[in-house]
Amino acid sequence: MEQTFKIVIDTKGGDNGPSVMVKGATLALERFPRLKVLLAGNEEEIREECDCLHLPADRVEILDAPGEITNFDNPADAMYQKTDSSMLLSLDTLSSRDDLVGMITCGNTGVALTGAMRYLSGEQRLRPALAAILPSQDGNFTCLVDTGATIDCTAAMLHHFAVLGSDFMRQMYGVEHPKVALLSNGTEPMKGNKLVKETYPLLSADERLNFTGNVEGSNALSGVCDVLVCDGFAGNQVLKVTEGTAKRMMTDIMRYARRTNSAEIGELFTHLMGVYDIGSLGGGIILGVTKPVIKARGNADEKAVVSVAEMLLNMAEHKAVFDKSRNHI
């Protein structure tokens, strides 16, 4: 009998409302027979949606959570004032139940990170990081870390992020010696701001890391590195600029295809959409915790929920990723 895995889906906090999260759960259950879900949110609303969508009762559990965290909530305040929120109750439940293997949320990134640190930290209680997996030019993937969870970083934090990213790429993608690069404004060791210059020797001295040096933004996703390390501000800009550039290119290609009535260009557009649709790639993965938590985009749709559910299933098959005996992913 095929092993089943249960994930937590926080239905609140997203731009499109709880119904989209429940619909995404429905599609995920249809696509993945081994999946079960725990839906956190307003129990009455979720049950009504489940009845309308005919979700299988034996594969769906509901966690009643009347409170909600918004994007305007301060993480520190929310941790104490909104303990009945769907996000914090989801994290608490995830930490206490062995049958749950991961969590999806579209809510406040700061609260998700702080909550994961509170409920899912290992013994060392090191700061988690938010990573994104992006397609690289050579057909593989690059782990970008951090992508916005920690804006003002220290060199020690970036060193820790490099270890987390390497560990993740090794376990999840089978990259035996992940190449680690540091985002900078030049490839020379002396280039970069104060943070980059302080981080460079730390990465160079760590024998656990296959550190290849600095990399410029124009070459970041060329395949020269498996892990790209930077502070959250720079990482978020890399993520957003990459997405914006891809959207602009695809818009121009589609406009040209319609004008020339070219089937070949239309096929190219379809291919590029599959590769560079950031939403379909899932979401940001919180690394450095005992169970995987994925922060989907605030405007995530049903398709994004399915993609993130698939990511969590893949992680669940690699038991080391969420083994409680580990201090980080």
Residue 283's contacts (CB-CB under 8 Å, 6 or more residues apart) are 104, 132, 294, 295, 296, 297, 300, 304, 308, 311
Average pLDDT estimate for 138-163: 92
290 closest CA partner among 50, 149, 101, 122: 122
Average pLDDT estimate for 34-48: 94
Pick the CATH number of 130-278 from 1.10.730.10, 1.10.357.10, 2.130.10.10, 3.40.718.10: 3.40.718.10
Q: Residue 103: left (phi > 0), alpha (psi -120 to 50), or beta?
A: beta
Sequential DSSP letters for 223-292: TS-SEEE--HHHHHHHHHHHHHHHHHHHHHHHHHHHHHT-HHHHHHHHHHHHHH-GGGG--EEEESSSS-
Q: What share of the chain is helix, strand, coil (3-state, %, to 5)?
A: 50, 20, 35
pLDDT for 159:
96
Q: Over the stretch 267-293, which tens digit does the pLDDT of each residue have?
A: 666 656 555 555 555 678 999 898 999
Q: Over the stretch 79-114, which tens digit does the pLDDT of each residue have?
A: 999 999 999 999 999 999 999 999 999 999 999 999
Token duo for residue 306: 């399915």
Residue 125 to residues 119, 157, 189, 237, 244: CA-CA distances in angstroms? 10, 13, 31, 28, 35
Token duo for residue 311: 């990511």
Q: Residue 180: helix, strand or coil by DSSP? A: strand
Average pLDDT estimate for 253-262: 69
Q: In whole numbers, what is the pLDDT of the chain averaged over residues?
A: 87
| Higher-pLDDT residue of 7, 240 | 7
Residue 255's contacts (CB-CB under 8 Å, 6 or more residues apart) are none
> What percent of the chain has a predicted confidence (pLDDT) above 70?
87
| Alpha-helical regions (H) of 32-103 | 43-53, 75-81, 86-96
| Contact (CB, 8 A) for 106 and 298 | yes
Average pLDDT estimate for 154-170: 94
pLDDT for 248:
75
Alpha-carbon gap, residue 158 to 183, rounded angstroms: 11
Q: Model confidence at 325, in pLDDT bands (50, 70, 90)?
A: very low
The string over 269-292, giving b where at least 16 C-beta atoms fall within 10 Å of a residue's C-beta and e elsewhere, is beeeeeebbbeebbbbbbbbbbbb
**Strand 141-145 to 129-135 pairing:** antiparallel
Domain map (residue ranges) of the chain: 5-126+288-321, 130-278
Q: Tell me: domain 5-126+288-321, CATH 1.10.150.120, correct?
A: no
